[in-house]
Structure 1
Amino acid sequence: MYIYTVSTMICISLALNFFFHANINDNNTSFSYGRSEGTPSEKGLRIDAQVKLIIYGQSLGGAVAIDLVSKNEEQVDALIIENTFLSVPKLVPHLVPQLRYLTFLCIQIWPSDKSIKKIKQTPILFLSGTKDEIIPQQHMKSLYELAQPRGGKEWKEFSNGMHNDTILQPGYFQNIGWFIKRNVCLDE
Structure 2
Amino acid sequence: MKKPIKFIIRSILILVILVTSYGLFIYISDPYIKALVQNNETKLFYRPTSEIEPLDDLNFSEQILIVEDSINIHTYLFHPSTKAKANIFLVRGNSGNTSQGKELIKPLVDNGFKVYSTDWRGYGKSNGVPTYKGLMKDTELAFADFLNRTKNDSIKIMVYGMSLGGLLAVKLTKENQTKVDALVLDGSLESAHSFITDNFRAFYLKSFTNNAQDYNQDYVAIRDIAEINNIPKLIIQSAKDRAVPFERGQNIFNAAKEPKLFWETNTDHIRTIPELTEELNLKLIELIR
Is this a same-fold pair by TM over 0.5?
A: yes
For normalisation by structure 1, the TM-score amounts to: 0.74
Describe the superposition over 1:111-146 as per-residue Cα deviations: whole angstroms up to 9, x where unpaired: 111110011111111121222222111111110111
Residue of structure 2 aligned with 1:145, choices 240, 254, 260: 254
Letter in 2 for 1:124: K
Corresponding residue SS for 1:116? helix
Aligned residues: 161
Residue of structure 2 aligned with 1:133, choices 238, 242, 256: 242
Corresponding residue SS for 2:237? strand
Corresponding residue SS for 2:242? coil
* 1:89 and 2:177 are equivalent in the alignment: no
Q: Report the CA distance shift for 1:8/1:57 in structure 2 as closer, same or farther (over 3 A).
A: farther
Gaps of 5+ in 2: 1-88, 116-148
Whole-Å Cα distance in 1 between the matches of residues 285 and 270 of structure 2?
A: 25
Residues 36-51 of structure 1 correspond to what in structure 2 (within 5 A)? 48-51=152-155
Percent of aligned pairs sharing the same letter:
20
RMSD: 2.5
Aligned-pair CA distance for 1:27 = 6.1
Is 1:87–1:109's contact at 8 Å kept on the other side of the alignment?
no
Letter in 2 for 1:183: L
Whole-Å Cα distance in 2 between the matches of residues 137 and 104 of structure 1?
A: 24
- The corresponding residue for 1:154 is 261
Q: Report the CA distance shift for 1:131/1:27 in structure 2 as closer, same or farther (over 3 A).
A: closer
Letter in 1 for 2:92: Y
- The corresponding residue for 2:107 is 17
Describe the superposition over 1:7-55 as per-residue Cα deviations: whole angstroms up to 9, x where unpaired: 15533333431142xx4x4568xxxxxxxxxxxxxxxx99734332110
Letter in 2 for 1:70: K
Describe the superposition over 1:44-90 as per-residue Cα deviations: whole angstroms up to 9, x where unpaired: x9973433211001011111001111111111111111101211123
Which protein has the bigger strand share?
A: 2
Letter in 2 for 1:18: L
Aligned-pair CA distance for 1:107 = 3.1
Aligned-pair CA distance for 1:109 = 5.2
Whole-Å Cα distance in 1 between the matches of residues 243 and 194 of structure 2?
A: 13
Residues 1-188 of structure 1 correspond to what in structure 2 (within 5 A)? 1-8=89-96, 10-11=98-99, 12-13=101-102, 14-20=104-110, 23=111, 25-26=112-113, 48-97=152-201, 98=205, 99-107=208-216, 110-149=219-258, 152-159=259-266, 161-169=267-275, 172-184=276-288, 186=289
Is 2:192–2:216's contact at 8 Å kept on the other side of the alignment?
no
Gaps of 5+ in 1: 29-44
Corresponding residue SS for 2:263? strand
Q: Report the CA distance shift for 1:26/1:114 in structure 2 as closer, same or farther (over 3 A).
A: closer
Aligned-pair CA distance for 1:168 = 3.3
- The corresponding residue for 1:38 is none
Aligned-pair CA distance for 1:155 = 1.6
Is 1:156–1:175's contact at 8 Å kept on the other side of the alignment?
no
